[in-house]
């Protein structure tokens, strides 16, 4: 079974703090994704990566950066957290191959005070 894990289920941070969200997948997938999920807005793509050290902006990259130093790990960084970044953050991975199915982690609910 594909397993995608995220470092924290719940996180509370203060405005202005630097926040790291970590994601690890164990299926040797090339592609990794970060989404945020908000009520009524569905899942919105923040950043994605199709290879180590490669990254591409998604639909809402402002206020975020990412790092992919190893194939299995994809980190989302909030350089200076703001209250409008309070959200559920979901990581996903997929293989470049026969299907594009993305497999999701359990999510991190981030609250910025």
Q: Where does this chain touch other proteins (CB under 8 A) — which range of 13-21, 61-69, 75-83, 88-96? A: 88-96
* Least distance CB 61 / other proteins (angstroms): 13
CB-nearer residue toward other proteins: 18 or 53: 53
Q: Cβ of 63: how many Cβ atoms within 10 Å?
A: 14
Q: According to the binding rule CB under 8 A, does residue 100 interact with other proteins? A: yes
Q: Under rule CB under 8 A, which residues in 22-41 are in contact with other proteins? A: 31, 39-41
Rg (CA), the chain: 13
Got the DSSP string for 4-66?
EEES-SEEEE-TT--EEEEEEESS--SEEEEEEEETTTEEEEEEEESSTT--EE-S--TT-EE
Q: Cβ of 5: how many Cβ atoms within 10 Å?
A: 12
Q: According to the binding rule CB under 8 A, does residue 99 interact with other proteins? A: yes
Q: According to the binding rule CB under 8 A, does residue 106 interact with other proteins? A: yes
Residues that bind other proteins (CB under 8 A): 4, 31, 39-43, 45, 48, 50, 58, 90, 92, 94, 96, 99-107
């Amino acid at each position: 079974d594909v397993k995608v894990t995220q470092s924290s289920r719940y996180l509370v941070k203060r405005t202005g703090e630097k926040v790291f969200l970590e994601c690890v997948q164990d299926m040797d997938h090339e592609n990794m994704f970060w989404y945020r999920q908000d009520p009524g807005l569905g899942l919105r793509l923040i950043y994605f990566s199709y290879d180590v050290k490669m990254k591409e902006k998604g639909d809402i990259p402002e206020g975020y950066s990412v790092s992919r130093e190893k194939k299995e790990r994809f980190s989302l960084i909030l350089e200076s957290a703001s209250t409008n970044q309070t959200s559920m953050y979901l990581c996903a991975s997929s293989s470049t191959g026969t299907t594009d199915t993305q497999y999701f982690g359990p999510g991190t609910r981030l609250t910025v005070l």
